[in-house]
Amino acid sequence: MVLIPVIGKLVSKRVVLASASPRRQEILTNVGLRFEVVPSWFKETLEKSSFATPYEYAIETAKQKALEVANRMHLKHLRTPDIVIGADTVVTVEKQILEKPVDKQDAYEMLSRLSGKEHSVFTGVAIVHCSSKDDCLETEVTDFYEETKVKFAELSEELLWEYIHSGEPMDKAGGYGIQALGGMLVEYVHGDFLNVVGFPLNHFCKKLAELYYPPPKHTIHHTKNDSIPSVETFENLSDGESDSSDPMHHKNANKLDRSGTPLSGAVQTLVNSCSTETSCMVTVENQSGVMEYSAKFPSKIVELMDGFRASKALFVASKLKVFDLLKDKCILKAVVVADKVEASVHGTERLLDACASLGLLDKTHQGYSNTDLANKYLVSDGEYSLHGYIIHSNDRLWHLFTHLEAAVKEGTMQTHQAFGKETEDLFQRNRASEEISIIGPAVTERDKLLSNTELFFNLGKDSCYHSVEAKQRFMTAMHSIAKLTARDVATAFDLSQFRSACDLGGCTGVLAHELVQNYPNLNITVFDLPEVIANVSCFQPSGKHITPVTFTAGDFFKDNLPEADLYILSLILHHWNDEKIHILLSKISAICKPGSALLVAEMVLDEEKTYPPTAVLQSLSMTEGKQRSGSEYKQLLEKYGFTNVQIKITGNILDAILGFRKTSAH
């Protein structure tokens, strides 16, 4: 049964899994699906007695999970997904749904009921296709369920309690996990094993095939075997039968082996399926009919190798303002675009094709046009445009990371290598200035130039930033990132108890305005360097109903801080070394009254410090500061007298940390 080509249909789409289950993530990752995880906030409080069957309850729960994520991403994250997958697995015995056990005694009673009996595991799955029309979310839901019969052996008291004491039953529906220790309890499984693990992969792929490859009736064959019910298979399914208008059509048709010979259909299917390297070797049949070992195609590594090409294509298209030309549903041929951007037709056509392959442009016989993604984020004057940050990445960060090898060897930023000797001389003068500073914080001219707002980019200012135009470009970059993250930071916690706030290093005031929108009674001050405050006017929102935000010039290392109930540090702490952080947090702690709070917005690493990749990769710019895990931020705030520290992983670029000032500092 050839199902893998169906996964290829989703490569160019933003696919979201509305589940935090590591088991579901692993199942979908192993089949080659690329997706992001946004756990659903839907409270599973549906009244079970109102559903005629357990599977109807599972389907409805899965649907509500997926729809909640789709709506939240569209309205709150301003990132409309293409597809959201929701799933809910329930265990039933004698038509009663067994939840996750609340304690060990509950687990014992559940497992005792299952002992020696056959029970059913139902998984409801919802596939929600999303689109945005006039800023309204439109959804189309396809749902299904899978049932698997599981028979437990007769379980002794000793085995039951040994399993319960392992801790495994406590977060599992029905009190067991078949893929781990719980497997020793199972006598047989009748149906899809992965359905019991948490996701019916086979049925999911068949459902995708129905959606993307509606088969002619003569290709549907009914088959039956002893272990699963009658199912439909699409044995003749191939890309040759797919919709030729689909952008993924023929995507892999011309892949060659090392000798330049087109790959056979069977081997091609293997190549398409190998997007994870869980196993490095596969068995294939050669032309002589002999089975031999062959290396899997390392698509993950190739994707990483090609990443710089994709980035540069996006940067160049943005710099030439290609997406501006194609906004408002404009469709242009390559020759017209080339004329408008003053570039060669040959080169422009290749760039447009590259953007189409990356899902940024649509290509038809009429010409090229923006995708919804490009219209929202890549058009330079869009409300949520990332154009400024993209240009900054092209002009600044790209050059820094070109010298990554030297940065790793030396453990220092490579600004002088990237931007020339004039910058190096400037830094030498600043270091000399810092060395002669004796009294008070060692704040040099370089520190002044290191605008509080630049910290997200992990980049020191240099002579290239001295012009007004350059400062404006930089602030535009910061402004575009803030527009993307402000809403999630502002709504991460309930801040209604505070009456005044001070955003230290708040740049153009995007977060401040977002906070005022959510908390109209909040008086907020943005405190940033004089050269920043002098240039904020052109970034302010227009309209008579906009609540004003106060902008105050100052240096948070040297000057007195404005009094407030809530202090905010967004993208500040990760940049500075321990000495500078001590100065800053000591000042905030000293001015805070009991009950006041500190809100920190940063990218929070997991405890292994390998996720999210954005934060890990940014650390390679070798600033004097560092990225931190949640526990490290908690310890840092507690060190300066902030207690009841809460951490909210938002799913956006920035996460939020909130700590309350206790009576006395340490």
Round to whole Å and give the CA distance between 536 and 508. 5
Cross-strand pairs, 90: 122
Handedness of CA 153, 156, 161, 163 (dihedral sign): negative
Burial 27-55 (b: 16+ CB within 10 A, else e): bbbebbbbbebbebebeeebeeeebeebb
Round to whole Å and give the CA distance between 499 and 510. 19
Query: CA 445, 449, 451: angle at the middle one, nearest 5?
Result: 135
- Amino acid letter, 42: F
Q: How many CB atoms lie within 10 A of CB 445?
A: 13
* Nearest Cα to Cα of residue 387 among 398, 375, 397: 375
Residue with token string 């009841």: 644
Q: How many CB atoms lie within 10 A of CB 141?
A: 16
> Tell me, what DSSP letter sits at residue 256?
B
Residues in the chain: 666
Query: CA 495, 500, 504: angle at the middle one, nearest 5?
Result: 95
Tokens encoding 197: 């693990």
> Tell me, what DSSP letter sits at residue 528?
E
- 401-405 long-range Cβ contacts below 8 angstroms, 24+ apart: 401/620, 401/621, 404/620
Round to whole Å and give the CA distance between 387 and 389. 6
The answer to whether 526 touches 550, Cβ cutoff 8 Å, is yes
Residue 502: what are its φ and ψ, rounded to 5°?
-135, 115
The answer to whether 34 touches 381, Cβ cutoff 8 Å, is no
The CA-atom distances, in angstroms, between 18 and each of 126, 131, 436 are 10, 17, 56
Terminal alpha carbon distance of the chain: 65
Round to whole Å and give the CA distance between 183 and 303. 36
The answer to whether 615 touches 603, Cβ cutoff 8 Å, is yes
DSSP per position, 300-316: HHHHHHHHHHHHHHHHH
* Nearest Cα to Cα of residue 661 among 578, 603, 585: 585
The answer to whether 199 touches 87, Cβ cutoff 8 Å, is yes
| Burial degree of 194 (CB within 10 A; 0-12, 13-18, 19+) | buried
Of 88, 192, 565, 655, the catalytic one is 88
User: Crossing angle for the helix pair 578-591 and 630-639, nearest 10 degrees?
Assistant: 60
User: Which residues, other chains included, contact 457 with Cβ-Cβ below 8 Å and sequence gap of 6+?
Assistant: 392, 396, 397, 477, 478
Tokens encoding 490: 């502002």
Active site residue 88: yes
Active-site residues, by number, are: 88
